[in-house]
Amino acid sequence: QLHQKQDFTKSVAPQWINPGVYSFNNSRQAVQVSSNNSEKRINSLYGYARFGYDNVLFMDITGRNDWSSTLPEGNNSYFYPSVTLSAIASDMFNMPDWVTFAKVRAAYAEVGNDTD
């Protein structure tokens, strides 16, 4: 779970009386002060599974689902799947003597995020 809270205060002096003297007392106009705060929560679930066949073929599957407070209710969930396939080619096929280990791997993943 992520819980992020930020509080901001900003002060701006729009115009200086004496350029290069950076002090709010040196402002020709009234100093503008503003503040803002934000809060964000993300809850997540993560799953992982690994499968193997005959110690030469392998498949890894992952899935992550996030629920974010910054997205509209009812549409605040997003899913990140991934799958990886691999094969130990040196154990499946005859290889030249100079090849001691060979592996082939392919992967697919989706990524994303909510609003900042």
Averaged pLDDT, groups of 10, the chain, 116 residues long: 89 88 89 91 96 97 94 91 97 94 97 80
- Asked if 13 contacts 31 with a C-beta cutoff of 8 angstroms, the reply is yes
Phi, psi angles (nearest 5°) of residue 55: 55, 25
The strand ranges marked E within 13-96 are: 32-53, 57-68, 77-88
Residues in the chain, total: 116
Four-CA torsion 19, 20, 22, 26, nearest 10 degrees: -30
pTM of the model: 0.65
For residue 50, the model assigns a pLDDT of: 98
Spatial contact of 61 and 79, defined as CB atoms under 8 Å apart: no
Q: What is the pLDDT of residue 92?
A: 94
Cα separation, 10 vs 92, in Å, equals 65
